[in-house]
Amino acid sequence: MEDRRAQVLVVGAGLSGLSATLFLAQQGIDVLGISKHRGTSPHPKATGQTHRTMELLRRVGVADEVLAGAAGLGGGVVIKVAESLQGQVFHTIVHEDHDWGTDLSPELPGMASQDHVEPVLLRRARELGAEVLFETELVSFTQQPDHVTATLRTRQTGHEWTVRADYLVAADGHRGTVRETLGIARQGRGPLAHHIGVVFDADLAVHLVPDKITLYYLRNPAFTGAFAATNTERRNVFTIEYDPAHESLADYPPQRCAELLRIATDAPDLDPDIREITAWEMAAWLSDRFRSDRVFLVGDAAKVTPPTGGLGGNTAIGDGFDLAWKLAAVVKGEAGEALLDSYEAERRPYAKLVVDGSFANYVPRFAPHLAGPDVPDEIDHLHLTLGYRCRSNAVLIDDTDQAPMEDPADPSGRPGFRAPHVTIELDGTKKSTVDLFTTWTLITLNEAWKGDVPSLYIPDIQDPTAELAKRYGIGTEGASLIRPDGVIAWRTTNPPTDHTHQLATTLATLTSKPHPHPHHHTIR
């Protein structure tokens, strides 16, 4: 007999695992999260949160705490390719006056690093009822038609125990065992480079742009690497490429790292307080599948992306959120099992865009010798984070356009895209449409669409500027059906005929539930 039951078991407590755990707990799911590590990540990596990520974090009440993790750095980030911090600048990627698209979302982008964000997610997940255990590892698991049985081990004592869960979420990273156990292969360019990572404390304010994260890709005669200031005062990160065929971590003692830091910072008298020196691999991988029956891959278990672009952590949080709302709907009986097919259908193509776009950034920043026709085109950051189009059985697309993205500054309002941010009036208060979408929501200005439709929220919106009618493409007669993740699932410009039945039938189609009436038609 199992020692513990859970509706969902999450293996791993990094950004993807904690996000899945947190968003499942928010929806009342009995979730158990485990991690083999002693605690959350102490490393200031995966810095920066997109507008979309901040919108998701706002839903669970932690957006302000995450933003506070980069207090004083509200000006964004400056990114340059240079010889050193004060040396020749070869290329400026993000200028001091970069437009961050602040009119596209009610949220500002964040600049907090992973060592700040993970404890925030963990605390909130526990507040919402999740159980998260550290120093607890997955020994093995088996799948049955209706559940997963996992054997876990408490590392301090060696005690083994079992958990029976409806579903298992593999958030155990790129070296995790779940993907390999399932026999899921991965494709991609593989290892790109090996780095020595140096976390150090030093007062480098004179070299940094005030109120911004400073990131330099360094191509120096003495080394190739990168420098990044963090949101922790005096805390910085320095990386150096090395060849593991000829060197190892042991060849980079503190004295050598300090000397390389003096070259990188143009500060010959610099006396850095080196906190940690580690070796890590930069790679590009995409798993062939994101699902095997009742087991799902998220974060680095699903894809490994170069950090050039800052989307690895954001994609991990997005994976956790996307899977969580779909799992919660199925577990609670609000959706059919087939809704889970939409996770891989939507997130794997997105992950490929992220990996390809990050590799396109990697070449000019770290490896210009790799430039050539096989390098993917660079992808506009806002197009990728706010303009991606979901395609799956949970979207009713009614056009033939195959483009994977659109310009979020000129949204079409078509199914599959994120519902645009428009400031509206609701109950006499101005707010963003983005903040409405916590459940299935119908956006309409036509009173004929409104009524008592089970499982559907129909807000009484005022649109005095006609901006909503334009950006959502519904005019004054139509309607747009928005999923709980803020993605447009269906749209019409026509007035309703039998709105209650039409909406109930369309909602059943989108959630893979049996239709409420023998007439199996959907609105087109």
The CA distance from 232 to 236, in Å, is: 8
CA 494 vs. chain centroid, Å, equals 35
Q: Give, rounded to a whole angstrom, the gap between the first and last alpha carbons of the chain.
A: 50
CB distance 109 to 100 below 8 Å = yes
**For residues 273 and 285, what is the distance between their CA atoms, to the nearest angstrom?**
34
Show Cβ contacts of residue 326 under 8 Å, excluding neighbours closer than 6 positions. 335, 339, 340, 342, 343, 394
Catalytic residue flag (residue 217): yes
Residue tagged active-site, from 167, 216, 217, 242: 217
**SS3 for 127?**
helix
Two structure tokens written together for 209: 């742009």
Q: How many CB atoms sit inside 10 A of residue 430's CB?
A: 9
Q: Around Cβ 158, how many Cβ atoms within 10 Å?
A: 7
With H, G, I as helix, E, B as strand and everything else as coil, classify residue 49.
strand
| SS3 of 401-421 | CCCCECCCCCCCCCCCCECCC
Instruction: Outline where DSSP puts E strands in 266-362.
Output: 273-287, 291-292, 295-297, 303-304
- Please list, in sequence order, all residues whose beta carbon lies within 8 angstroms of the beta carbon of residue 393, skipping any fewer than 6 positions away: 338, 339, 341, 342, 345, 512
Q: In sequence order, which residues have a C-beta less than 8 Å from that of residue 78 and are 6 or more positions away? A: 92, 94, 95, 96, 209, 212, 213, 214, 215
Where b means 16+ CB within 10 Å and e means fewer, 466-499 reads eebbebbbbbebbbbbbbbbbbbbbbbeeebeeb
Say if residues 339 and 296 touch (Cβ distance below 8 Å): no
Q: What is the DSSP string of 63-108?
A: HHHHHHTTTT-TT-EEEEEESSSSS-EEEEEE-TT----TTS-SSP
Please list the active-site residues: 217
